[in-house]
Each structure stands twice: as C-alpha cells, then as structure tokens.
C-alpha cells in the first residue's frame, strides 16, 4: 500500500518550531505529554493524550481526545473530529502547527523515525530560548490570524512583535487585548498601535509570560472587533497612501492661505493645527486624536486645497 505523504505538519511556534513532520497515508498520530506517544509536547497546557491526527488516502482529520485546554483549528475550538486542509493552522498548547503540501522528494521519502530525530535535534538547539514558550515569524502566521488564535484559546501574556524597525507589545488577558504600544510610546493610543502593527508583514513574535500592566484606560472593544476594524482601515489607508508624501516628510502651512479657515471642518482644523505644531507627517499622525485613516483623509483634503504643502 502506498503511504507516500501528501501533507506535512510545519511547526510555526513551540518546541519544534521550524521543523516539519510528514503525514503518511492511512496512519494515526497521537499528540500529547505522555512519553510513549508519536509526538510528545511536554508543557502544562497539553494533556497526556491531547489530539489525534489521522490520514486516509484522500483526507486528513484531527480529533481532540478530551483534552483539558482544547484543540483549535484556524482559531476555532473543535468538538469531535475536524477535516484538515492545506494552509489550516492547529493550536495545541503553545505549538502552532500549519498543514502544508509535501513538495520535495526528500520530505516525501523521509521516514517517521528520521522526521522525529530531526524534530528533536531542532528542539535541543532551541533550548536556549526554552523560557519563551511561543515564538515564530509573522511571515508564517500573519498577525491578525495569530491574535485570533490567542483570543479563542484565551491566552494571557505580552505578545512582543519586532519588525526590525519597531517593537510592538500587545497585552492580553484571557484572550482579550487590553492595551498595546509601539516602542513604549504611550502618547499613541493603544487602538492606533494595534492598527499600525497589523500593517507589519515581516518580523518575529514572542508570547512572554503574563505581566499585568496598570493603565489609565483599557481597550473595551473585543479582539474580533479590533481586528475587523483594523483590517478595514488597513485596506483603505493603503488605497490613500499613494496620495500622501513619505511618512518622514515635512509639512508646512503656506502664506497667504489659499482659502478661509472657516471652510474647514472641525476635524480638518485639528489636523491643520497639528501641522502648525509639529510640521511632519508622522508626528501629525501620532498626535491626531483619531485614527491614521481619518488623519490621512484630512491631510489629503488640506493638501488638495493648498492649506498644507510639502516645502
């Protein structure tokens, strides 16, 4: 019987991060804490016999085995057995596992014993970061998907995201986002910080142990609501961005003005004042009390009517 694998499990975070395990046809794999299982994940949030992945000639299924903390597929806690597809993301404890197609002969011909040996070797190399139980790269799991997983699995902690230029921190309490900063700049609203982080397409993430941060005002919106609004704003902001100068560009108010200030809306007047006060696009966006999208629309409107120019 041909058991050549069509799919593999790619570990995006957790003990085996970076490793892959082929899913041979007509086979069952048990995941859990117990040392006699096919795939051993020794951590508090993983049950002794946590989940079972079974493959047939045509399909791959996952089944939760009555675990304490549940098994999640694409952010949804599964009940019973669930069909898996290429691209699906599984969460077991702090391990995020992606179902990928087997595209090279080396992986297809690799025995399960060799795959396990490689996974364990990789895990030993990562022991220096053992105190960081969940980490990975956002090229493998986009930030909206990661936050959805953390929300539905009710994780607590500080999600640090580094895009190579800035360091963002998202504070979670039982899956709910209650605060966020970029480069510890508390002048920028937490909602704005989250919306900006959603634009980051490359970088690394790490979920650090829970640290309760005392803030004056916590985010009240649900994580789902934040993500939906953030993605909407991201799409619209990208459409407007070609009408804006680069973020570091200076902005100025010409004299004489091309029109009367009474022609401006209250929001446009606020933006006009910020241009006078700060004279740079990024600083205007940072200090505008609303969203980057609203500020961008105001700046474009002011520039079109020559209330604001790039000197």
Cβ neighbour number for residue 135 with a 10 Å cutoff: 19
Q: Tell me if residue 42 falls in helix, strand or coil.
A: coil
Residue 102 confidence (pLDDT):
83
Q: Is 66 found in the same domain as 11?
A: yes
Tell me which H or E stretch contains 300: helix 292-304
The residue range of the domain holding 269 is 244-305
Q: Tell whether omega for the bond before 296 is within 30 degrees of 0, i.e. cis.
A: no
Q: Is 265 found in the same domain as 226?
A: no
User: How far apart, in Å, are the Cα atoms of 257 and each of 225, 254, 262, 263, 277?
Assistant: 41, 6, 12, 12, 17
Sheet holding 20-23, edge to edge: 20-23, 7-11, 95-101, 89-92, 72-73, 76-77
Residue 64 confidence (pLDDT):
95
Residue 190, CB half-sphere, CA atoms under 13 Å: how many?
A: 18
Distance CA(205)–CA(161), nearest Å, equals: 4
Q: Is 20 found in the same domain as 124?
A: yes
Q: Does the predicted model carry a pTM greater than 0.85?
A: no
Please identify every stretch of the chain with a pLDDT value under 70, giving residue numbers as ranges. 1-3, 104-113, 115, 122-133
Whether residue 196 lies inside any domain: the answer is yes
Residue 3 confidence (pLDDT):
61
Q: Is 56 found in the same domain as 110?
A: yes
Convert the pLDDT of each residue in 102-160 to its tens digit.
Answer: 876 555 566 666 767 777 776 666 665 555 568 889 998 889 889 988 888 888 999 99
Of 181, 203, 235, the last residue of a domain is 235
Residue 85 belongs to domain with CATH number: 2.60.200.20
Whether residue 283 lies inside any domain: the answer is yes
Whether residue 269 lies inside any domain: the answer is yes
Q: Alpha helix locations (H) across 187-265?
A: 190-197, 223-241
Residue 1 confidence (pLDDT):
47
């Amino acid at each position: 019987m041909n058991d050549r694998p069509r799919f593999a499990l790619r570990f995006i975070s957790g003990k085996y991060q970076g490793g892959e395990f082929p899913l041979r046809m007509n086979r069952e794999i048990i995941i859990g804490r117990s040392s006699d299982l096919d795939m051993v994940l020794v951590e508090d949030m993983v049950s002794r016999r946590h989940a079972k992945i079974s493959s047939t000639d045509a399909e791959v299924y996952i089944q939760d085995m009555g675990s304490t903390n549940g098994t999640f597929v694409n952010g949804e806690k599964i009940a019973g057995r669930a069909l898996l597809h290429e691209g699906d993301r599984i969460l077991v404890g702090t391990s995020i596992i992606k179902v990928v197609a087997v595209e090279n002969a080396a992986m297809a011909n690799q025995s399960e014993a060799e795959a396990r040996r490689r996974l364990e070797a990789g895990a030993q190399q990562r022991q220096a970061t053992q105190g960081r139980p969940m980490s990975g790269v956002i090229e493998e799991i986009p930030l909206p998907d990661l936050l959805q997983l953390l929300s539905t699995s009710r994780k607590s902690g500080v999600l640090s995201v580094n895009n190579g230029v800035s360091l963002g921190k998202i504070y979670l309490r039982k899956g709910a986002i209650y605060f966020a900063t970029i480069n510890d700049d508390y002048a920028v609203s937490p909602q704005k910080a989250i919306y900006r982080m959603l634009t980051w397409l490359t970088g690394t993430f790490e979920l650090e142990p829970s640290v309760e941060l005392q803030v004056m005002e916590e985010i009240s919106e649900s994580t789902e609501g934040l993500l939906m609004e953030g993605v909407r704003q991201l799409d619209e902001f990208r459409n407007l961005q070609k009408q804006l100068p680069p973020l570091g560009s200076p902005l100025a108010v010409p004299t004489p003005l091309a029109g009367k200030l009474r022609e401006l809306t209250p929001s446009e007047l606020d933006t006009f004042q910020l241009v006078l006060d700060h004279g740079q696009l990024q600083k205007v966006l940072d200090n505008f009390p609303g969203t980057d999208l609203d500020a961008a629309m105001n700046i474009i409107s002011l520039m079109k009517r020559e209330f604001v120019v790039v000197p």
